[in-house]
Amino acid sequence: MYFRIVDLSGSGVEDLALDVVGNLFRRNKDGRFVNFERYFLPIFSRIRNNPREAFVHLKRLVSSHLSQEFSRILRQEDPQGWKIYRNILMVPRRSEYVDMVEIQYRRYFLYRQSMEEDIWTFFEGEKPMIPLPQLEAWLREIITTVKTTPTIVENVLKSIATSGKYAPMVAVDDLHVTIQKILGLSFTFMDDLDQVEVEPELTLPKATLVDLIDQHIQMQLEKSYRLTGKVCDAITERYHGILMTYFEDLIWLGKTRPLTDYMNHTQENEILLENWDVHRHRLAYMIQKGKSHLKNIFLNL
């Protein structure tokens, strides 16, 4: 996608890099890096003594910012191509069999025929990636019967996985370029594409949403658990760390992992190992509360 944007914008790679990264390092009149402060101040107490977690958050911030900037440029230079790309990225959220991973700064969709499959074994096999001409041929066939981009992508991934010939994965940018190439020759389908539901753009900065959900989670933990004496301060702090990492993933990346993954990445997680089922139930309850709060925020915008 990046080189597609370079072609569309007429800028060189270096100029494009400056454009997309520059705003992240914007300073206010006092010379402070406002984007970094807005993101890191709410979580500073949690990461100040944990360099590994701090680096993960830094990578998350930069990755999210770059994705937003590239999407903005693509939408500006090629609105139809942007719509296709947005719909493609919805696939992992709608399908329980599709995962998206990033390897060496390139995104891939992986198709699991069962939830027990380890996605990382896909990279260890000897099967080749599907050639682009074959990918295009299968996509053309699927597009004749399927009219929504996420379903098209899931169907072609399933075809790749069940063929037994190729690794059950495909690069996201290859899908984008190939689908756009096909749709550019199919004007009847372009009309249908306009009817595909695209997730609305956030009208609040994501960092602001993180701040709002942080305040809400702290209030709910205080009211539901700490003040009632159900849990001690140490466990309340662990709950807060897990929940905020969960919601930061949800807000910044649009995708979350199982709760056990968040527990394993939280400092001193052994405190939660005993009676984990009880802790998981409480965390799930807090997540439900947090999602309801986010929904109310959007309804009241």
pLDDT for the residue 291: 86
Q: How far apart are CA 33 and CA 25, in angstroms?
A: 6
* Per-position DSSP letters for 187-203, written without gaps between them: HHHHHHHTTS--PPPPS
Instruction: Please report which confidence band the pLDDT of residue 187 belongs to, taking 50, 70 and 90 as the band edges.
Output: very low
pLDDT for the residue 193: 34
CA 121 to chain centre: 22
What does R_g of the chain's alpha carbons equal in angstroms? 22
pLDDT for the residue 258: 78
pLDDT for the residue 39: 83
Q: Helices (H) and strands (E) in the chain — how many of each?
A: 16, 3
CB 157 within 8 A of CB 170: yes
pLDDT for the residue 198: 34
Q: Given strand 98-103, what is the order of strands in its sheet?
A: 98-103, 106-111, 169-171
Name, in order, each residue with C-beta under 8 angstroms of 214's C-beta and a sequence gap of 6 or more: 42, 244, 247
pLDDT tens for 59-86 read: 878 877 777 777 777 777 777 777 777 7
Instruction: Please report which confidence band the pLDDT of residue 134 belongs to, taking 50, 70 and 90 as the band edges.
Output: very high
Query: Domain residue spans in the chain?
Result: 2-77, 91-193, 206-299
pLDDT tens for 261-300 read: 777 655 555 666 677 788 888 898 899 888 888 877 766 6
Burial of 297 (0-12, 13-18, 19+ CB in 10 A): middle
Tokens 């986010």 locate to 294
Which of 78, 103, 72, 107 lies closest to 91 in space, CA to CA?
107
Which of 96, 78, 98 lies closest to 88 in space, CA to CA?
98
pLDDT tens for 138-150 read: 998 888 887 677 8
Other CB atoms closer than 10 Å to residue 13's CB: what's the count? Answer: 11
Other CB atoms closer than 10 Å to residue 122's CB: what's the count? Answer: 19
pLDDT for the residue 133: 92
pLDDT for the residue 135: 93
pLDDT tens for 40-66 read: 887 888 888 888 888 888 887 887 777
pLDDT for the residue 104: 66
% of residues, the chain, pLDDT over 90 = 6
Kindly state the tokens that stand for 157: 């991934």
pLDDT for the residue 152: 87
Q: Are strands 169-171 and 98-103 parallel, antiparallel or unpaired?
A: unpaired
Question: Which helix (H) or strand (E) element contains residue 148?
Answer: none
CB 221 within 8 A of CB 286: yes
Question: Which helix (H) or strand (E) element contains residue 51?
Answer: helix 51-77
pLDDT for the residue 118: 53
Name, in order, each residue with C-beta under 8 angstroms of 211's C-beta and a sequence gap of 6 or more: 38, 42
pLDDT for the residue 44: 84
Decide if pLDDT at 107 tops 50. yes
Q: What share of the chain is helix, strand, coil (3-state, %, to 5)?
A: 70, 5, 25
Q: Any idea which of 164-168, 209-213, 249-253 has the lowest mean pLDDT?
A: 249-253
Average pLDDT in the chain: 76
pLDDT for the residue 159: 92
Q: pTM of whole model > 0.85?
A: no
Residues 125-145 have a mean pLDDT of: 87
pLDDT tens for 219-241 read: 899 888 888 888 888 788 888 88
